[in-house]
Structure 1
Amino acid sequence: MTHQPLQPSPEHYPSYRPPSRKQNPRFATAQHKETLAKAFHAGADLYDEIRPEYPSFIGKLASGKRALDIGAGTGKLTLSLPHDLVFACDPSPDMVRVLQSHGISCWRGTAEDLAVASGSIDAVFCAQAWHWVDAQATCLELDRVLTPGGKAVLVWNTIDVHADPWVLRLTRIMHSGDVQRPDFKPEVHQPLVISEEHHDFWQQTLKAEQLHTLMHSRSYWLRANEKTRQRMTANLNWYLYEHMGFQPGTEVKIPYRTDAFVLSRYAG
């Protein structure tokens, strides 16, 4: 039986803390940041299954023949890029394994050391990964690899916690999504500057039980021990099936916000 997409009843709105007002995710130390990033060294198949695609306009924000997707994950953005030659890199061997299975020319590499020739790339994309990199070192590396007039595009798909109070509570339970304020700006260093920004709002429709799969693709779950995972599972089950009144198979619309920032060389 197919269920129609359903939005929760207003009577089920939970109490909640205000959304994040942070400019960017915060890490206690550089080592703490590196440890959290390493959570994605596993779980690539799950990530590929459940994470949403990116709006089609993203690939058009930087033109040219050769494009490179850095921190490409499993290729959620890479596969949609319209350029003639598309390359990708990611530090996770598991992510690169899935990238290769999609037929993408890729290698293990970091944003700070892209292992491509100077002035050889027309367009660089970085989706859902900029907060994991050393922004200053990466801006210098982008300046090295980009052709004259080349551009870089930084992209985030974020669950829109401002769309509905129930969504904010959901992201808190899943430890996902509520990490920066809507008007945030990514950290960028000269010789690059933000020359354009674009924002889009859309929805991903998932069955209620798939929200568990989405939770399992997050770094918090990937690095959690079994006791923590059991607690998270129980909390999400309670929220979905008791508090919200969903049933297995119920289709739920998850609101997303896409933020894209185009970087160009400083012209001043």
Structure 2
Amino acid sequence: MAEIPSLPQRAFTVDAARRTELASAFQSGADSYDKIRPSYPPQALDFALQARPRTAVDIGCGSGIFTEQLASRGLEVSAVDPSADMLRVLAERLPQVARTCAAGEDTGLPENAFDLVSYAQAWHWVDHAKASAEAARLLRNDGWLTLLWNQLDVTIPWVHRLARIMHAGDVHRPELEPPLGTQFEKPEHGIWHWSMELDFAEIIELTKSRSYYRRSSENTRTKVEGNLAWYWLDHLGHAAGDKVQVPYLTHAWRARRRTRR
């Protein structure tokens, strides 16, 4: 795999105040988020389910994109998210799934209740020590915590530049191991490359689904959209309606909960 050029390694070091500020961007706008954000490749789902869990809780579930994939494999799934608007969209998609509006650090769910705790596109939004402790509390002995991210494949130069213009803050080095509490064994890593077909309007919608854009001033938003128009239409030479395969990758970690003594 090519080296990722000059990406900052700060994915898991945002201070609590800034993390809370950015995360607040997802208290509304769940419909547009759900419309444009991709699901996860089947291989990543297989990776998450390698221990054949029967029960799972998807924390930071958002609109239920990964929750739905877990449910499609026959698991009994619960969903947790601090955004009532995200859970509203999830309820429309998955009315059978139990929903809890809470933070990942304190879900209020019963202990020793799940075989799997998953965080899809969400581990960077929590306090890792507290969220690790809560995940360990929720899991049965030898249960698993799985963390997943979809991100633009910035090993490709033109995609790297696109990510910078979009201010795709969730893009970070795949080899950067996420911090976990001592309740878990050393995580195993998986990575899968794929692509998503997008036109210019969808590139704009994808940009609008990100916390940076949602928390920005109208002036900054206009500037970002203008820069994207120049890059996509003028520099790369695509017509607005052209469908372009945009390279993505999914990277994930899974870690077994240490046995309680």
Instruction: Tell me the TM-score normalised to structure 2 length.
Output: 0.90
Q: Identify the match of residue 59 of structure 2 among 70, 80, 94.
A: 70
2-side partners of 1:220 and 1:191: how far apart? 33
Q: Identify the match of residue 264 of structure 1 among 233, 239, 256.
A: 256
Larger radius of gyration: 1
Structure 2 match to 1:132? 125
2-side partners of 1:143 and 1:18: how far apart? 36
Structure 2 match to 1:93? 84
- Alignment size in residue pairs: 250
2-side partners of 1:248 and 1:83: how far apart? 40
2-side partners of 1:197 and 1:101: how far apart? 33
Gaps of 5+ in 1: 1-16
Q: Partner letter of residue 66 of structure 2? A: L
Q: Partner letter of residue 239 of structure 1? A: Y
Structure 2 match to 1:24? 11
Q: Identify the match of residue 80 of structure 1 among 53, 69, 78.
A: 69
Q: Measured at CA, do residues 266 and 144 of structure 1 come closer, stay the same or move farther in structure 2, by a change above 3 Å? A: same
2-side partners of 1:23 and 1:83: how far apart? 36
Structure 2 match to 1:40? 26
Query: Comparing 132-141 with 104-113, which one deviates more in the overlay?
Result: 104-113
Retained in 1: the 8 A contact 2:141–2:258? no
- Offset, 1:109: 1.2
Instruction: Tell me the TM-score normalised to structure 1 length.
Output: 0.88
SS at match of 2:173: coil
Q: Measured at CA, do residues 202 and 97 of structure 1 come closer, stay the same or move farther in structure 2, by a change above 3 Å? A: same
2-side partners of 1:203 and 1:243: how far apart? 21
Q: CA RMSD, aligned part only?
A: 1.8
1-side partners of 2:169 and 2:20: how far apart? 19
- 1:158 is aligned to 2:151: yes
Q: Partner letter of residue 7 of structure 2? A: S
2-side partners of 1:116 and 1:242: how far apart? 51
- Offset, 1:83: 3.8
Query: Comparing 58-67 with 223-232, which one deviates more in the overlay?
Result: 58-67
- Offset, 1:24: 2.3
CA deviations on 1:104-162 (whole Å, 9 max, x unpaired) are 32120111112211101111110110011111111111111111221110001111111
Q: Measured at CA, do residues 132 and 177 of structure 1 come closer, stay the same or move farther in structure 2, by a change above 3 Å? A: closer
- 1:229 is aligned to 2:206: no
2-side partners of 1:58 and 1:165: how far apart? 25
- Offset, 1:248: 1.6
- 1:116 is aligned to 2:105: no
